[in-house]
Amino acid sequence: MAGEPSGAALAALTPAVIQQLHGAIRGLPRPQLEALLTAFRQRFRLAVGASVAAAITQKQHHDWVEAYLVQVEAPKAGSDQQG
C-alpha cells in the first residue's frame, strides 16, 4: 500500500541510537518537547498516554525525529545571524 514504510524504514535502531535520540528530545525546551510528543503521537498513531520514548524503535522514527529537530533548530539559527 502507498504510504506504508519500506523495509529499510522498519529497521530496528541500536540501543545507542535510541539513547542519543532520547537525549536530543529531552534537551528541548518544554513547549517544543510537548509539540514534538504530540506530533510524534499523531504521525505514528500512538494513544494519547502512550510513551513516545518506548515507541522510538525503528529507522522511520529516527528519521522523523531528526527532521523535526532540524526544523526546530532552523528558526533559532536564523535569529543568531546579525544583519
The residue ranges of every structural domain in the chain are 15-74
Give dist(CA 63, CA 9) in Å, integer: 8
What's the pLDDT band for 80 if we cut at 50, 70, 90? low
What average pLDDT does range 21-26 have in this prediction?
Answer: 96
What's the pLDDT band for 51 if we cut at 50, 70, 90? very high
- Amino acid, single-letter form, for residue 27: G
The confidence score (pLDDT) of residue 66 equals 96
The confidence score (pLDDT) of residue 3 equals 60
Query: With a threshold of 0.95, does the pTM exceed it?
Result: no
Confirm if 24 and 69 have CB atoms less than 8 A apart.
Answer: yes
pLDDT in tens, 66-77: 999 999 887 766
The whole-angstrom distance between residue 82's C-alpha and the CA centroid of its chain comes to: 30
Q: Sign (positive/negative) of CA torsion 17, 53, 72, 59? A: positive
The whole-angstrom distance between residue 1's C-alpha and the CA centroid of its chain comes to: 24
The confidence score (pLDDT) of residue 73 equals 81
Give dist(CA 68, CA 64) in Å, integer: 6
